[in-house]
Structure formats: C-alpha cells, structure tokens
Amino acid sequence: MKLTIPDYIQAIEPYVPGKPIEALEREYGIQNSVKLASNENPLGPSPMALAAIRNGLTRLHRYPDGAGHLLTHKLAEACGVAPENVVIGNGSDDIIALLVRALVRPGDQVVVPQPSFLMYTITASAAGAVVESVPLKSMVMDLDAMVGRVTADTRLVFICNPNNPTGTVVTQKAFDRFMARLPDGVVVVVDEAYIEFARNADCLKTGRPSDVDRPVVTLRTFSKAYGLAGLRVGYGIMPAMLAEVLHRIRQPFNVNALAQAAAVAALDDRAFLHRTLDLVHRGLDALYAGLEGLGLTYFKSEANFFLIDVGQPADIVFENMLRQGVIVRSMRAYGFPDYIRINVGLENENRRFLEALETVLAK
Ligand SMILES: Cc1ncc(COP(=O)(O)O)c(C=O)c1O
C-alpha cells in the first residue's frame, strides 16, 4: 500500500496522553494506584452532572441539539456575552482544531509559548503552519517576546493562562501591552483551561464582554474544575464574526447529548465547584509543605498541578513511582528532563504520593 503523507504531517511528534489507570495497572501488575498525571478532578464528576446524565440516558436514540441551545445560552449569560459569541466543542481541543482549520493555511505562522500545552503545536503543524516557539522567561510566558515574533504571516498566537505545565500566569497589564502591539489580522487564543483554580489577583482573565469586540478567543473546559474530562466538552468565547465561521466548519453534532446536559447541570453545581477549589488549594499547600520537608525544589502554581525538580531523570522517577502505584507525568517531552508534573489528588492520595516519592528518591 502506498500512502502519500505531507512532510509537515510526517514530522509531527505524537501527543502522548497520560495512560488510563487500567492500562498501567495491567502493564505493571499493580493495584489501587493513584493517578496524578492528567490534571483531572480527584473528586470525580459533579453529582448534579451525573444526575443529568442519568436523566438523559433514555433519550440516546435522538440526535443531540446541534446548536447546543441550552448550554450556549447558559454560558453566554454567565459570561455576559451574546450566544453568538459562544462556540461549544468536543473538549477545548475541538475548538483549537476548528480555529486552526478556519484561520491557518500551509505556510502561515502560528506563535506558541514553549513549553506549553502540546496540542497548539501539534494542531498547527498538522495544518502545515510554521510554528514559532517562544521560550518562557523564568517560567512565565514572555508576551513581549511573543508579540515581537509576530510577522505579516502570523495568523494565530496561543497564550495558556495558567500555563500547562508551569502553572504560571500572565497579568492583565502584560496582556494589555501585548494587545497594544498586536497587528491587525492576528487572532489571540487565551486558553483558560485552569482559570478557576487561579488565586493570584493579578491573573489575566478574558472572556468578558469587552473581549468579544477584539480578536481574542477565550477557551474554557469542563474537563478540569468541573470533573467531566471523559465526556469531552469545552467552549470558546469569541467575536461573533469568527464564531459564525467555526459553526460553518464544525461537525453538526460536535458535542454529544449527555455532555451538553451534564455541562448545563455542572454550571449550576456551585457546591461542587467550591469543594473542588477548596480541595485543590488545601492540597497544593500541603504538597508544597511535604516537598519542602523532603528538601525538593518545586514551582508554585495557579492551577491544579505543578512541577517538581526531582534532580534526576524524570523518566526513571516516573517508572519507579509507577512500581509504587503512583502515576505522575515525566516532563521530558516538555523540555524539563529532570522534572515531574503532578496534579493535586485527594488528601490520602497526596500523602501516598509524598511517601512514594521519598522511597523512590532514597534509592
Ligand atoms: C492547557 C490545556 N488546554 C486544553 C486542554 C484540553 O482540554 P479538553 O479536555 O477540554 O480538550 C488541556 C488538557 O489537558 C490543557 O491542559
């Protein structure tokens, strides 16, 4: 069989997701493992979302609402924008793909921070874009350097706030300076997948009514703070002109019926969101204290995950932690060969992580 694959597709390094617990337990012959590798919500899904899913099960013979009317209207109301400014997707990954497909032709330029969420580079590369990676400065996205790399060929700039994997944020002031220098014709995507967790009062937050009058797209997701990663639902807030283009090219039923119902219910489940934020904030502080006790360097974060310098190859620490039944993420693929990333777990999971790390590093 002969396949003709474009060079720019051949060159893509595959995204390596955190493996499911079941697969790792099978491979390593372990049980009752703790997964802290994919920035998921350790509390599980919102109970109100679960009830909505149960309710929706008997209607699975029907197609979903292709316009996502209820969810779109609820999100618009929550953000103070018009429903015409909202596009829902099969995870925020779907919106990233739609934006790239709508705006980027082969040879166009896309500016991304480095390191950051790998899907920006993968998706842009798959469209034949030239990806300009701009290094972080002291772990923080360098918006001045990023806007400095914008050329006449640039179509998109990705900002990840808080940034995955560093957990650092950009300020409103830095963003305003960036926007003032941004030439016409460039769309800025601010990925706020973890924004709910940010405690820093100076942290930029977009998706407000004033943002939809300029070329700014805010991405949010139900995968993290709302605990619905397995359902796949995310959304973008953007100028109506751009939303209209995305609606033309998206799949007609890109968000399934259960995901829509669950997301609507999750938005009303304020108690669950509250519990999640409380757990993550207390967990972060307890983990920081535990790591200080072990004499390890870590990087304070505004998200539900953070980086730890383990002072030796992270791939080896990852393997040895697995044998202790704790799944972490090696940051080698992100350019930090000695760092691991973990997300906050339940209290007992955090304790198990600290104990396992102490055992592994003592070897
Ligand atoms: C920064 C960032 N953006 C987007 C996503 C994708 O989220 P979703 O599950 O909504 O596709 C992730 C997932 O890990 C992420 O870390």
Averaged pLDDT, groups of 10, the chain, 363 residues long: 90 80 85 93 97 97 98 98 98 98 98 96 96 97 98 98 98 97 97 98 96 97 97 98 98 98 98 98 98 97 98 96 94 95 98 98 90
Q: Is the CB of 145 under 6 A from ligand 1?
A: no
Pair (175, 65) in one structural domain: yes
List pLDDT tens digits, range 247-306. Answer: 999 999 999 999 999 999 999 999 999 999 999 999 999 999 999 999 999 999 999 999
**Which spans in the chain are helix H?**
7-10, 21-28, 47-56, 69-79, 92-103, 119-126, 143-148, 172-181, 240-249, 257-268, 270-293, 314-323, 347-362
Pair (256, 356) in one structural domain: no
Pair (23, 93) in one structural domain: no
How many whole angstroms from 38 Cα to the centroid of ligand 1?
A: 10
Last residue of a domain, which of 268, 288, 303? 268
How many whole angstroms from 24 Cα to the centroid of ligand 1?
A: 22
Q: What pTM does this model have?
A: 0.96
Range of the domain at 114: 47-268
Helix (H, G, I), strand (E, B) or coil at 186: coil
Q: Which atom of ligand 1 is nearest to the CA of 116?
A: 1
Q: Which of 299, 280, 270 is nearest to 36 (CA)?
A: 280
Pair (232, 357) in one structural domain: no
For a mutational test of ligand 1's pocket, the pick from 223, 233, 331, i.e. the residue with the most ligand atoms closer than 8 A to its C-beta, is: 223
- Considering the domain boundaries, does residue 1 fall inside one? no
- Considering the domain boundaries, does residue 347 fall inside one? yes
CATH number at residue 311: 3.90.1150.10
CATH number at residue 235: 3.40.640.10
Pair (341, 254) in one structural domain: no
How many whole angstroms from 270 Cα to the centroid of ligand 1?
A: 22
- Considering the domain boundaries, does residue 12 fall inside one? no
- Considering the domain boundaries, does residue 57 fall inside one? yes
Pair (32, 85) in one structural domain: no
- Considering the domain boundaries, does residue 144 fall inside one? yes
Q: Is the CB of 41 under 6 A from ligand 1?
A: no
Q: Is the CB of 191 under 6 A from ligand 1?
A: yes
Q: How many CB atoms lie within 10 A of CB 247?
A: 15
Q: Give the mean pLDDT of the chain.
A: 96
- Considering the domain boundaries, does residue 4 fall inside one? no
Pair (39, 66) in one structural domain: no
For a mutational test of ligand 1's pocket, the pick from 221, 306, 334, i.e. the residue with the most ligand atoms closer than 8 A to its C-beta, is: 221
Please, which residues have CB within 8 angstroms of residue 300's CB and are 6 or more apart in sequence? 167, 284, 288, 306
Q: Which atom of ligand 1 is nearest to the CA of 94?
A: 11
Q: Which of 156, 18, 147 is nearest to 98 (CA)?
A: 156
Q: pLDDT at position 43, please?
A: 97
Pair (213, 105) in one structural domain: yes
Q: pLDDT at position 339, please?
A: 98
The Cα 133–Cα 174 span in angstroms is: 19
Instruction: Read off the amino acid at residue 274.
Output: H
Last residue of a domain, which of 268, 297, 319? 268
Q: What's the DSSP call for residue 182?
A: P
List pLDDT tens digits, range 74-121. Answer: 999 999 999 999 999 999 999 999 999 999 999 999 999 999 999 999
Q: pLDDT at position 36, please?
A: 96
Last residue of a domain, which of 268, 297, 326? 268
How many whole angstroms from 111 Cα to the centroid of ligand 1?
A: 18
Pair (126, 218) in one structural domain: yes
Pair (202, 119) in one structural domain: yes
Q: Is the CB of 92 under 6 A from ligand 1?
A: yes
Q: pLDDT at position 112, please?
A: 98
Q: Is the CB of 93 under 6 A from ligand 1?
A: yes
Pair (83, 146) in one structural domain: yes
- Considering the domain boundaries, does residue 7 fall inside one? no
Pair (245, 322) in one structural domain: no
Provide the number of structural domains found in the chain: 2
- Considering the domain boundaries, does residue 65 fall inside one? yes
